[in-house]
Chains A and B, each alone.
Chain A
Amino acid sequence: MTTDCMLDRRRLVKALMRQRGDAAVVTGLGAPTYDCFAAGDSNLNFYLWGGMGGAAMLGLGLALAQPDRRVIVVTGDGEMMMGIGSLGTIAAQMPTNLGILVLDNEMFGETGQQVGLTGVQSGIAEMALGAGISRAFTIREESEVAELIMAVTEGKGPIVCVAKVQSGKDPVALPSCDGVLLHHRFRKAVISSS
């Protein structure tokens, strides 16, 4: 699965956020959390700073509780791999409103850029299909970004989209890590507008 990772993650996430509408967005710890915050803060963003492996499952619980709202999970390859079994759990529940975007830089960027398993042999989209996710694919080119954004924001879920992204140094953009604050502002925003 080793490949040239060419897409600009910040530009991709910014383009996604422009198309989100009133979707609730859950971000996996590390760079995906920073990417989503850098694209513009929102009370409808729930930023994870821990609980590695849990982003997709948090998205499932939210998607089942809010069936009329789009739920988007934006996470990284390491975070998704840690919770890879959850794709089977999600497939079985068939949440049509859940879109998962994996920003795959094939490395553990936060901890010193150690090579991740998607940089060796594993393919997350292929594992998602094996888990029973009805639609899953990987993109590597700018020309495929529009299709990916459409799938994540509007495609019939559960859907898993993997974008191979560069490992460049992006400007620091850190949202609040106060869990109680993030919990209350997000829940209020979700419930009051549902």
Chain B
Amino acid sequence: MDSANSSFDWAEDLLPVLRTEGIRHVTTVPDGGLASLLKKCEEASDINVTTLTSEEEGIAFACGAWLGGEKAVLFMQSSGVGNCINMLALPSVCRMPCLMLVAMRGEEGEFNPWQVPMARGVPDVLAAMGVTTYRPATAMEIGQKFASAAGLVYETGTTAAVLISQHIVGVKVFDEEKMR
């Protein structure tokens, strides 16, 4: 993790955005880069966390919550974007708002080659499905970009994703790797 980013907990900036926007539902297949954020959501009495078996469930959930007058956001790892592709037709064709936050793997510092192909495909896949993407340059920008994305999504019935680069979320390191 960058030393400039390591001391700054960007997750602190996201909960106020959830509350300002009235987002009461968080759906997720967890990622290590989201651990702090997910812990805060689990601890918040006004936020319901739904753990998914596969990420596309979160797209359908968000549409159902919206139809019932509420808002849901999907937090996932970059590999989960691939699982969402066909389900993205649902908010698209119905013009229902859909907001995603993606912690990237397979970028700078990645050790696992299996993470790389989907990571490389994420921006193109989202663009191909008509999803607006935001890419904060630093940890300090995440809260503001997430707020901008939420504003766009709920005002215009758009689908948007905020991508958090791996240099911000940090690099996964296994003890065995260290021991080599």
Contact = CB atoms under 8 A, between A and B. Distances in A.
A48 B95 CA distance: 14
Nearest first, the 3 A-B pairs at minimum CB distance are A61-B64, A65-B68, A85-B53
A66 B61 contact: no
A95 B178 CA distance: 45
Interface residues of A, number: 36
A64 B25 contact: yes
Contacts of A50: 86, 89-90, 93
B70 A57 contact: no
Given A64-B65, A187-B67, 8 more contacts: A26-B64, A53-B56, A55-B60, A58-B64, A89-B53, A183-B67, A183-B94, A191-B69
Interface of A: 24, 26, 46, 48, 50-55, 57-66, 83, 85-86, 88-89, 92-93, 179-180, 182-183, 186-187, 190-191, 194
B3 to A, nearest CB: 38
Chain A, interface SS category: helix
Contact of B95 (A65, A66, A180): A180
Contacts of A183: 67, 94-96
A51 B65 contact: no
A48 B25 CA distance: 22
Contacts of A46: 67
Interface string B66-106: 11111010000000000000110110011110000000000
24 contacts: A24-B68, A46-B67, A48-B90, A50-B86, A50-B89, A51-B60, A57-B64, A61-B62, A61-B66, A61-B70, A62-B65, A65-B66, A65-B70, A66-B69, A83-B57, A85-B54, A86-B60, A89-B50, A89-B51, A92-B51, A179-B90, A180-B95, A183-B94, A183-B95
Counting contact residues on chain B (CB < 8 A from A), the size range is 20 to 34
Given A54-B87, A54-B90, A183-B95, A62 B57 contact: no
A62 B62 CA distance: 9
B138 interface: no
